[in-house]
Structure 1
Amino acid sequence: MIENKKVLVVITARGGSKGLPGKNIKPLMGKPLIAYTIEAARDSHYVDRIIVSSDSQDIVDTAVAYGAEAPFIRPESLAGDLSKQEDAILHAMDWVEAEEGAYDYVMVLVPTTPLRDAAEVDACLEALVENDDAKAIFTVRECDHHPWQANALPESQSMRDFIDPAIRTKNRQELPQFFQLSGSVCLSEWEHFRKEQSFLTDKTFAYLTDARNGLDIDNLKDFLLAEVYLNNPGLV
């Protein structure tokens, strides 16, 4: 609990993955990928319950072995390539409400950002509680590539007007800082998420993470980068 308010963590973990098959339970430095996220939630000072939502029995069995609950198998209708994660979250919330009633906060942690830790989980909860204007918190990190230095290309491949003339000669350090969604921690007041069915609303505030904690594993290159980070604790 945080200030007498209950926190539910939902870990969403589909069985299907095209970029890196079986990635949610693929061993990373001798431990299944999902275990890192379960441990971050388990080590939090504030999280009250951890539920894994998955359509895969292998993921369910792994999650339970590492200390999470997996009290249901996610319906196939919520586990397809085009299924919305928000619907899976609402399904988990409905299950919890039917069993024991509503919580105060719902937090979603995805297994594909394994390097986010309990300190970040707790910091996001503290940021939400301390900000009277906030209903939700979403992690962001600095863009890997500045968006002003990117553009679409015509069929001719001409780079005329590819970069605004006003910034062509500027160094990256002279450009305004831009951020991209990380999603290593997604957090909302329970009823606010029910109403908006999204973590990104007019009442959402950012929590700034870094490239390490915000690493999202989508393919083998990302997986190998996670190994580099784990082998080099001081690398950000």
Structure 2
Amino acid sequence: MFQNKKIIAIIPARGGSKGIPNKNIVDVCGKPLIEYTITAARQSRYIDMVYVSTDSLQIAELCVARGISVPELRPRELATDEAKTIDTLRHTLKLLNYEKFDYVVLLQPTQPLRLPYHIDEAIQLIVPGQRESIISVTKVSEHPVFMRSLDANGKLNSILNTNSTIRRQDLSTFYKVNGAIYINKVSDILNYDISLNDNEYPYIMDKAYDLDIDTEEDLNKFIQIQSLREKNNI
């Protein structure tokens, strides 16, 4: 609970994955990948309840064995590549006694470097009536002014309509959504047509904690990082 507001965390975990089979439960240093996010949510000072939304019986059984509630398996239409996360949130909240929760924190299991204090710091940014939605971001190392897109004719085009002679020190700072933490009012999720990526206020994370597990290369990088963490008792 934070500022007398009850907070629920929902971890969406599909069973299917094209890049890494059974990605959400793949073993990383003796633990399934999803367990790193479950642990972070449980250790948050402000989260009151943790739920997992999944279409996989195997993931559900693994979570229940760890004391995490799985209300029911997610419908097939919410477990496709085209399904929107916002619809999964709505479905899960409606299964629960959502009226008793004020805010929902979405934690994707493919961002395992996020720690409990990141979640708590993001929640602390909530100011009822002023800042109702939070999204985690990291500063980009390469500024978009130096990036180009390739058109159908093989020609490079600038992404930003900016003077090409602008000095690097005069460039504004850009951030990317990293997918680690989303916070919204439960009532906004249920009653409005919103996109989580449109959350207005940032929680800025150091890029050292930004790793989205999508490929075997990402997974191997996380294994290396986690092995070092455990070696140094971090």
Bucket of the pairwise TM-score, normalised by the shorter protein: 0.7 to 0.9
Supply the distance in 1 between the matched residues of 2:99 and 2:158 (Cα, whole angstroms). 57
Q: How many residues end up aligned between the 2 structures?
A: 229
SS in 1 for 2:145: helix
Q: Does 1:96 pair with 2:96?
A: yes
SS in 1 for 2:150: coil
The aligned amino acid for 2:59 is I
Supply the distance in 2 between the matched residues of 1:104 and 1:220 (Cα, whole angstroms). 37
Q: Which residue of 2 aligns with 1:87?
A: 87
Q: Which residue of 1 aligns with 2:13?
A: 13
Report the CA distance shift for 1:91/1:163 in structure 2 as closer, same or farther (over 3 A).
Answer: closer
Supply the distance in 2 between the matched residues of 1:160 and 1:68 (Cα, whole angstroms). 49
Say which of 149, 161, 170 aligns to 1:152: 149
Report the CA distance shift for 1:177/1:231 in structure 2 as closer, same or farther (over 3 A).
Answer: farther
Report the CA distance shift for 1:124/1:132 in structure 2 as closer, same or farther (over 3 A).
Answer: same
1:30-49 → structure 2 map (5 Å cutoff): 30-49=30-49
Q: Does 1:179 pair with 2:175?
A: yes
The aligned amino acid for 1:143 is V
Q: CA offsets, 1:149-194, max 9 Å, x none?
A: 22122455455879989446855x5532211111201001111222
1:65-76 → structure 2 map (5 Å cutoff): 65-76=65-76
The aligned amino acid for 1:138 is I
Q: Does 1:134 pair with 2:147?
A: no
Say which of 217, 225, 234 aligns to 1:229: 225
Q: Which runs of 5+ in 1 are unaligned?
A: none
The aligned amino acid for 2:172 is P
Q: Identity, % of aligned pairs?
A: 33
TM-score (norm 2): 0.87
The aligned amino acid for 2:112 is P
Q: 1:6 touches 1:105 (CA, 8 Å); kept in 2?
A: yes
Supply the distance in 1 between the matched residues of 2:60 and 2:76 (Cα, whole angstroms). 15
Shift of 1:212: 3.0
SS in 1 for 2:148: coil
Q: Which runs of 5+ in 2 are unaligned?
A: none
Q: CA RMSD in A?
A: 2.5
Say which of 214, 217, 232 aligns to 2:213: 217
SS in 2 for 1:184: strand
Supply the distance in 1 between the matched residues of 2:100 and 2:19 (Cα, whole angstroms). 36
